[in-house]
């Protein structure tokens, strides 16, 4: 199907932020089905992003976000490969969205590896105790604890959190899409969340 309308291409571009040619190609490959084309672009964006992950990130920006009322603020560093990308609207918007995410959801770390192992062990002990208390058989305890720990990661690890801007994606998926779109490796560095009285 090569008679894809310009409006359809434009609509897909608005929805995904992908380039015009990528949108047209996706629509052709998906027989004009816009839903399938969105999914296709997401997959290819993630594939493109994976290739860029090993590249050096020596630029970026420190982004400050102060919530209305000035009682809550976030300082965040986000790295990229070039100053050019660091100054793009897409990159700056991503930094702001991530800072708002941190303000709203209060993650403990960017990745699972960065979580304090003692905290993870404590959580596991708590979950094991709760499972025992509720009368679950010993043989099932490990599986129950594993499931609860995964949920704990989804709540406390920034990259695994559901985006407050788009509940269909995690922060990691949003990051992968941005990498695919901007064509550079992008990484979230350190962050600090400040709240009056905490």
Contact between 119 and 155 (Cβ < 8 Å): no
Tell whether 63 is covered by a domain.
yes
pLDDT by 10s per residue, the chain, length 198: 457 888 888 887 766 666 677 788 888 888 888 888 878 777 766 555 555 555 666 789 999 999 999 999 999 999 999 999 999 999 999 999 999 999 999 999 999 999 999 999 999 999 988 888 888 788 888 888 899 999 999 999 999 999 999 999 999 999 999 988 888 889 999 999 999 988
Tell whether 47 is covered by a domain.
yes
Whether 66 and 135 map to the same domain: the answer is no
Whether 132 and 147 map to the same domain: the answer is yes
Query: What pLDDT, on a 0 to 100 scale, did the predictor assign at position 53?
Result: 56
The count of domains in the chain is 3
Whether 135 and 40 map to the same domain: the answer is no
Q: How far apart are CA 180 and CA 160, in angstroms?
A: 19
Whether 28 and 103 map to the same domain: the answer is no
Q: How far apart are CA 110 and CA 179, in angstroms?
A: 17
Whether 142 and 100 map to the same domain: the answer is no
Domain harbouring 161, CATH code: 3.30.479.20
Condensed to tens digits (0 to 9), the pLDDT of residues 157-182 reads: 999 999 999 999 999 999 999 988 88
Whether 179 and 151 map to the same domain: the answer is no
Tell whether 1 is covered by a domain.
no
Q: In the 3-class helix/strand/coil scheme, how is the chain assigned residue by residue?
A: CCCCCHHHHHHHHHHHCCCHHHHHHHHHHCCCCHHHHHHHHHHHHHHHHHHHCCCCCCEEEEEEEECCCCCEEEEEEEEECCHHHHCCHHHHHHHHHHHHHHHHHCCCECCHHHCCHHHHHHHHHHHHHHHHHCCCCHHHHHHHHHHHHHHHHHHHEHHHCECCCCCCCEHHHHHHHHHHHHCCCCEEEEEEEEECCC
Whether 32 and 98 map to the same domain: the answer is no
Domain harbouring 44, CATH code: 1.10.8.10
Query: What pLDDT, on a 0 to 100 scale, did the predictor assign at position 1?
Result: 45
Domain range enclosing 76 = 59-110+157-195
Tell whether 85 is covered by a domain.
yes
Whether 35 and 124 map to the same domain: the answer is no
Tell whether 70 is covered by a domain.
yes
Query: What pLDDT, on a 0 to 100 scale, did the predictor assign at position 18?
Result: 67
Contact between 185 and 54 (Cβ < 8 Å): yes
Contact between 154 and 161 (Cβ < 8 Å): yes
Query: What pLDDT, on a 0 to 100 scale, did the predictor assign at position 148?
Result: 92
């Amino acid at each position: 199907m090569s008679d894809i309308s310009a409006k359809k291409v434009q609509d897909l571009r608005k929805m995904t932020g992908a380039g015009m040619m990528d949108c047209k190609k996706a629509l052709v490959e998906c027989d004009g089905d816009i839903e399938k084309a969105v999914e296709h672009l997401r997959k290819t964006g993630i594939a493109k992003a994976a290739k860029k992950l090993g590249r050096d990130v020596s630029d970026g920006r420190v982004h400050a976000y102060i919530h209305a009322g000035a009682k809550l603020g976030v300082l965040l560093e986000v790295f990229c490969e070039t100053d050019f990308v660091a100054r793009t609207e897409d990159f700056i918007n991503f930094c702001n969205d991530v800072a708002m995410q941190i303000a709203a959801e209060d993650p403990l770390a960017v990745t699972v590896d960065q979580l304090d192992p003692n905290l993870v062990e404590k959580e596991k002990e708590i979950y094991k105790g709760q499972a025992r208390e509720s009368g679950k058989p010993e043989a099932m305890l490990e599986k129950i604890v594993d499931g609860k720990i995964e949920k704990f990661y989804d709540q406390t690890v920034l990259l695994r959190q559901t985006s407050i801007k788009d509940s269909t994606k995690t922060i990691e998926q949003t990051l992968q899409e941005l990498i695919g779109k901007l064509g550079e490796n992008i990484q979230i560095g350190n962050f600090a969340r400040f709240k009056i009285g905490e």
